[in-house]
Chain A
Amino acid sequence: DAKTTQPPSMDCAEGRAANLPCNHSTISGNEYVYWYRQIHSQGPQYIIHGLKNNETNEMASLIITEDRKSSTLILPHATLRDTAVYYCIVLGPNFGNEKLTFGTGTRLTIIP
């Protein structure tokens, strides 16, 4: 069972910031928040992950609330190529033995 809840769909205007929320109220102290996306029917692609602090990389920023029960993925300047399904996943520190579960995700549509 997925440990996260996300809105099923969102729209965002091209060039604007896309903010994708995720609730993970049962997250444990040593569990990370990961974000992946799947463009059309390609393999899922890693975006970013974090434990407690906010994180930023070349693709996105991840904002995690102080109580760690929710997070927001921010795509600062959305382009048409960012149209995809975005998955928020909670995982332990060494997840090789865990059953990685992808929920239904958020279908993000970037509008020209």
Chain B
Amino acid sequence: DTAVSQTPKYLVTQMGNDKSIKCEQNLGHDTMYWYKQDSKKFLKIMFSYNNKELIINETVPNRFSPKSPDKAHLNLHINSLELGDSAVYFCASTGAGWGEKLFFGSGTQLSVL
């Protein structure tokens, strides 16, 4: 079983559309994240949720709205997609103890045309 799974793997859409990316982890972790990796391959944190509560919001446009229905899921909804939103989006999760590891999903490649 995949520890952190994201769907879809590829997403191609037109500017102005609204789309969602789903993430689920079966590790029993308390904290989940969304990262964005742009064309320059720089990984930037977008959001962090702990037990369904928003912990970190890294100056991401409010067109991006994360939603955590339960601590195993963290979905990312994007409104009014723009060309600059094209990137690979990674979901990740971690536990809450000392020296915990971060587990990443395989990524969603979003292409806005």
Question: In whole angstroms, how far apart are the Cα atoms of A44 and B99 in the complex?
Answer: 17
Would you give the shortest CB distance from B23 to chain A, in whole angstroms? 11
Closest residue of A by beta carbon distance from B98: A93
Contact indicator A41/B107 (Cβ below 8 Å): yes
Q: For residue A48, which residue of chain B has the nearest CB? A: B101
Task: Give the one of A43, A93, A97 with max B CB within 10 A.
Answer: A43
- Looking at the complex, which of B12-20, B60-68, B76-84, B89-97 is the stretch in contact with chain A? B89-97
Find chain B residues with CB under 8 A from A42 CB: 106-107
Contact, CB under 8 Å: B102 / A32: no
User: Nearest Cβ distance between residue B106 and chain A, in whole angstroms?
Assistant: 5
B86 on the interface (CB 8 Å rule)?
Answer: no
Tell me whether B43 is interfacial, beta carbon within 8 Å: yes
Name the CB-closest residue of A to B103. A46
Partner of A96, one of B42, B50, B104, B107: B50
The answer to whether residues A49 and B99 also contact, given A41-B88, A96-B55 and a CB cut-off of 8 A, is yes
**Assembled-state Cα–Cα distance A100/B93 (Å):** 12
Does B30 touch A at the CB level, under 8 Å?
yes
Q: Is A51 an interface residue (CB 8 A)?
A: yes
Using a CB-CB cutoff of 8 Å, which residues 84-99 of chain A contact chain B? 85, 87, 93-97, 99
Counting from the closest, the 8 A-B pairs by CB-CB distance are A43-B104, A102-B43, A96-B31, A46-B101, A93-B98, A44-B104, A43-B106, A43-B90
Q: Which residues on B are within 8 Å of A, measured CB to CB? A: 4, 30-31, 33, 35, 37, 41-45, 48, 50, 55-56, 58, 88, 90, 92, 94, 96-107, 109
**Extra 18 A-B pairs, beta carbons < 8 Å, given A41-B107, A43-B92, A45-B104:** A36-B102, A41-B37, A41-B88, A41-B109, A42-B107, A43-B104, A43-B105, A44-B43, A44-B92, A44-B102, A94-B100, A96-B30, A97-B50, A97-B56, A99-B56, A99-B58, A100-B45, A100-B102
